Amino acid sequence: MAGTTHKFLLPAVLALAAIALPAPATAAPAESTAPLAGRCLAESNLGEVYVNTCMDTGKQRWTIEGEKIRRSGSSWCLAEGNLGAVVVNTCMNTGKQRWTIEGEKIRRSGSSLCLASNGTSAGLNTCMNTGKQRWLIQGEKIILNN
């Protein structure tokens, strides 16, 4: 009978110990370059803006500040470049850096041009109801929502 009692008590004691003991400490997660779901707006090292697989990197983090879209933690803002390109430039108070969020569209304020995915590059096209111009702002990510 004593052997039978120990068979039932040991699992019960182990279960209680698991509840009472604190979980082991873990280190804070490091910035990961593992892919996340979707395709995100990103900045290259040359100031160009493109659409790439979403990753947990600073080059894909954006902050909306009124009409400005700033690369998080930097002094670089999304801007209209030459010939319909989208680039990042030093943040200034210029019309080419003003954006209006309209549902899923990101319109260059005061124009009929919207942020669009042109394959892997980002550009400005006439605003239309297409998947290439649908964006989801989720935290610091700007995700293509087509």
In this prediction, residue 35 carries a pLDDT of 52
**120-146 pLDDT, tens digit each:** 999 999 999 899 999 999 999 999 998
Average pLDDT for 4-23: 42
Residue 59 CA to residue 48 CA, distance in Å, equals 11
**32-46 pLDDT, tens digit each:** 444 566 999 999 988
Could you give the C-alpha distances from 127 to 54, 112, 142, in angstroms and in order?
Answer: 24, 6, 17
Confidence band, pLDDT 50/70/90 cuts, at residue 7? very low
Could you give the C-alpha distances from 104 to 53, 72, 99, 100, 131, in angstroms and in order?
Answer: 19, 20, 13, 11, 10
Q: What is the CATH architecture assignment of 35-144? A: Trefoil (2.80)
Q: Where are the domains of the chain?
A: 35-144
In this prediction, residue 45 carries a pLDDT of 84
**pTM score over 0.85:** no
**73-118 pLDDT, tens digit each:** 999 999 999 999 999 999 999 999 999 999 999 999 999 999 999 9
pLDDT reading at 5 higher than 90: no
In this prediction, residue 134 carries a pLDDT of 97
